[in-house]
A = this chain, B = another copy of it.
Amino acid sequence: MSKEITSRSADYSQWYNDLVIKGSLADYSAVRGCMVIKPYGFALWENMRDALDKMFKDTGHVNAYFPIFIPKSLFEAEEKNAEGFAKECAVVTHYRLKGDPAHKGKLIVDPEAKLEEELVVRPTSEAIIWNTYKNWIQSYRDLPILINQWANVVRWEMRTRLFLRTAEFLWQEGHTAHATAKEAVAEAEQMLHVYADFVENWMALPVIKGLKTESERFAGAVETYCIEALMQDGKALQAGTSHFLGQNFAKAFEVKFSDKENKLDYVWATSWGVSTRLIGALVMAHSDDEGLILPPKIAPHQVVIVPIYKGEESKPVIDAKAKALAAELKAAGIRVKFDDNDNTRPGWKFAEYEMKGVPVRIAIGARDIENNVAELARRDTREKTSVSLDGLAARVIALLDEIQQAIYNKALAYRDEHITRVNSWDEFVKVLNEKGGFVSAHWDGTAETEEKIKEQTKATIRCIPLDNAQEEGVCVLSGKPSKQRVLFAQAY
């Protein structure tokens, strides 16, 4: 097969790109930093989106849609909040192209069609949404507002990587409004748990739930909750964040409500989001040098059936059996593909579906049918077994569950092996350099030390785990007293 993949050991970064491109998840586009999400990658995203969307609705949220453009002045209103992210963005300044009078067939921006106020393509929607909530909220009866939006957002990035960091990406952003701080904190925590539940149980990727330090917090947040996952190269990846925003946005946009006693107060807020970046995490956490490994619960095809033709005369018999089998699996709720393309050989197909990470492959030929069996191959372990055609659907359902669990367990074992407790600076540096993963170390709690550690090792504090054990110690760099360990890692 022509689709050679760079191995992880040779070049981890190239291995990742190879998987994304050759696994048909995404492609580069004519626009710098923007990707094309290909049908196979988009089907994966649809499965992820639909599962998340159901979890959001089950927790009382509704979807809505807000404009893609944000007038520049709204960023000025939330200036203190926005400082962290509002700078590198796509700015619309004009609303018309016209023919170039100096060069027939070329277009230029019409200088007469300059906008009075520039519009920013949303990097995130707090500003436009809170500017809208102002009109929707008068009294406690209007609260809570529990809105989510599925949307594209744009952040101008100089160095981009497919899924992990692109100028445009797809995400969901929840924006909720509450009458009390307590309720808003509970919401932010609830959504963190929803994210962890989704990433662990659907994406088979174990995460650590925690709080960001002040310097790693979302601009405008009082508290940022996050889930952190570990990739196979020992780097961490932030898989989702949920922010308790306090009254910051309500104050920036003057959103007040009258409570039951008719007293006016600012509204309390949260926001929370995950993006197509999760696909990057999925690829990097589970896959191997043969291609993608996708968890069955979100894989576009859970099973592929490959017929093994030997001579023309066996084809109708094999096709009939394979089609019946596909129908049986489909009726059992399995996403199955029957690949009867006879331009390509079985070996090519095997490699293709290994590349694409289809969890289970069923190969079936004339002799198999005589013996009432088929060959079942699982992608994660590459084990093959011959199984009876009787009751195959039930067997496949059980196998898909087993694979889902096995992928999770493997990632969990790797992650747990890569949380290293260290008590000295030498150890800290050595573990980061030689082993990677999370380093659990004491920290004196100052942004200054955090910054020094980052400069010297590129490691950041990924999070202060929720329900962190309290333990007396001394900071691994400064030697000052510390009451708890935090998790450091180099990160995507």
Contacts and interface: CB of A to CB of B under 8 A. Distances in A.
Interface residues of A, number: 64
B92 A90 contact: yes
Given A42-B64, A66-B36, A88-B96, A118 B109 contact: yes
Contact of A68 (B34, B46, B156, B343): B34
Given A66-B29, A66-B36, A107-B72, A89 B93 contact: no
A30 interface: yes
Interface stretch (A128-136, A406-414, A480-488): A128-136
Given A63-B42, A156-B95, A30 B131 contact: yes
Interface in A110-167: 118-121, 128, 131-132, 135, 141, 147, 151-152, 154, 156
A91 B113 CA distance: 10
B67 A31 contact: yes
Contact of A147 (B39, B105, B135, B343): B39
Contacts of A168: 67-69
A76 interface: yes
A94 interface: yes
B34 A69 contact: yes
Contacts of A118: 97, 109
A90 B68 CA distance: 11
Contacts of A265: none
A154 B168 CA distance: 16
A67 B109 contact: no
A263 interface: no
Contacts of A79: 105, 107
A428 interface: no
Given A29-B128, A121-B121, A141-B343, 12 more contacts: A27-B135, A29-B67, A30-B71, A31-B119, A36-B64, A36-B66, A36-B67, A42-B62, A68-B154, A79-B107, A90-B92, A92-B93
